[in-house]
């Protein structure tokens, strides 16, 4: 794979040529805004501005009130068609203002305490990343596995017809820190259940210059952006390839949790339990 990078102000364009097909893939990385919908909290009830993760626009985000999760999902869909918002988006969903402000503040406070417990992580594709399993009696765990979270994301991920099918996975909720040097190479998450799970990455804090990039395998287009605090990214195991670019300044902290349609496990489930050094 050959990658050429040029800078155009805030936008970095990367052209990629892969294999013998010489397919040109353009990446547009928007530092700072992530290109997602603004909220009424940010605009004081004024016009909400909509672009998606990667720069596509959708009129659904142009609401004068606080957009709900569906509207954020709509902002990531530009191709129309059937299926859930997640499917139409091409394999990655970005939702801003995920928790209510009070819940977010409490999650952030608890995560600040968890920082004392983080250790180096063993996963192959992650570099210089730190993390810790969140205890089940911690508020962060409680907030992530709440049925309201599964219900809310169910519609976006599975569509109206199947929105009651999601439950929290029986894997630990994890708190992770990307310090300077922290990154994650291109990968697909391993399926832990017989129906591949949804991996939810909630950004707690982000003072870093790191971006999350992903590929829509239908088109070969790559997209990416900076994730703001109190947002989530959702990808499906065995789904869209994605990576986290290296932090060169600042730090990003996230909570990762899993939603699933089944608790029937694959063999990989058992191989993925020991991921931190102690
Ligand atoms: Fe991943």
Indicate whether 1 belongs to any domain: no
Buried-state track 195-215, b at ≥16 Cβ within 10 A, e below 16: bbbbbbbbbbbbebbbbbbbb
Structurally, how many domains does the chain consist of? 1
Residue-level pLDDT at 275: 57
More confident: 108 or 269: 108
Whether 201 and 232 have beta carbons less than 8 Å apart is answered as yes
Q: How many other CB atoms are found less than 10 A from the CB of residue 114?
A: 22
Indicate whether 190 belongs to any domain: yes
More confident: 212 or 4: 212
Using the mean position of ligand 1's atoms as its centre, give its distance from the Cα of residue 15 in Å: 23
Using the mean position of ligand 1's atoms as its centre, give its distance from the Cα of residue 246 in Å: 14
Q: How confident is the model at residue 82 (pLDDT cuts 50, 70, 90)?
A: low
Indicate whether 5 belongs to any domain: no
Indicate whether 207 belongs to any domain: yes
Six-digit token string for 127: 């570099």
Indicate whether 168 belongs to any domain: yes
CATH number for the domain spanning 133: value is 2.60.120.620
Above 50 in pLDDT, residue 170?
A: yes
Above 80 in pLDDT, residue 117?
A: yes
Residue-level pLDDT at 163: 65
Residue-level pLDDT at 278: 45
Span 213-218, average pLDDT: 94
Using the mean position of ligand 1's atoms as its centre, give its distance from the Cα of residue 258 in Å: 11
Indicate whether 2 belongs to any domain: no
φ, ψ of residue 131 to 5 degrees: the values are -170, 170
Q: How confident is the model at residue 125 (pLDDT cuts 50, 70, 90)?
A: confident
Using the mean position of ligand 1's atoms as its centre, give its distance from the Cα of residue 226 in Å: 16
Using the mean position of ligand 1's atoms as its centre, give its distance from the Cα of residue 142 in Å: 22
Distance CA 157, CA 178 (A): 27
Residue-level pLDDT at 73: 43
Above 50 in pLDDT, residue 58?
A: no
* Domain that residue 165 falls in: 10-275
Span 1-8, average pLDDT: 29
Whether 208 and 176 have beta carbons less than 8 Å apart is answered as no
Residue with tokens 């017809």: 161
Residue-level pLDDT at 132: 95
Indicate whether 3 belongs to any domain: no
Whether 70 and 88 have beta carbons less than 8 Å apart is answered as no
DSSP 33-71: TTT----HHHHTTS------TTS---GGG--SS---HHH
For residue 97, give every residue at least 6 positions away whose Cβ sits within 8 Å of its Cβ, in sequence order, or none. 39, 41, 66, 230, 231
Indicate whether 112 belongs to any domain: yes
Distance CA 257, CA 200 (A): 5
């Amino acid at each position: 794979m050959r990658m050429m990078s040029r800078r155009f102000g805030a936008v970095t364009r990367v052209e990629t040529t892969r294999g013998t097909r010489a397919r040109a893939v353009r990446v547009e990385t928007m530092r700072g805004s992530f290109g997602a919908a603004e909220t009424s909290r940010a605009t004081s009830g004024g016009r909400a501005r909509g672009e998606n993760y990667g720069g596509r626009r959708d009129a659904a985000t142009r609401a004068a009130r606080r957009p709900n999760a569906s509207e954020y999902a709509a902002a990531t869909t530009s191709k129309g068609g059937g299926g859930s918002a997640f499917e139409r988006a091409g394999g990655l969903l970005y939702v801003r203002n995920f928790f209510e402000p009070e819940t977010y503040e409490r999650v952030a406070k608890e995560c600040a305490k968890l920082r004392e417990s983080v250790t180096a992580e063993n996963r192959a594709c992650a570099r210089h990343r730190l993390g810790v399993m969140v205890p089940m009696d911690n508020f962060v765990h409680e907030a992530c596995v709440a049925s309201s979270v599964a219900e809310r994301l169910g519609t976006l991920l599975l569509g109206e017809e199947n929105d009651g099918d999601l439950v929290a996975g029986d894997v630990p909720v994890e708190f992770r820190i990307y310090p300077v040097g922290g990154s994650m190479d291109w990968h697909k998450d391993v399926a832990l259940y017989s129906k591949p799970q949804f991996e939810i990455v909630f950004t707690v804090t982000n003072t870093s210059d790191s971006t999350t990039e992903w590929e829509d395998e239908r088109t070969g287009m790559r997209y990416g952006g900076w994730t703001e605090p109190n947002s989530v990214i959702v990808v499906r195991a065995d789904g869209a390839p994605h990576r986290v670019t290296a932090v060169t300044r600042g730090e990003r902290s996230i909570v990762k949790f899993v939603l699933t349609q089944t608790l029937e496990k694959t063999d990989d489930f058992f191989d993925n339990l020991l991921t931190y050094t102690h």
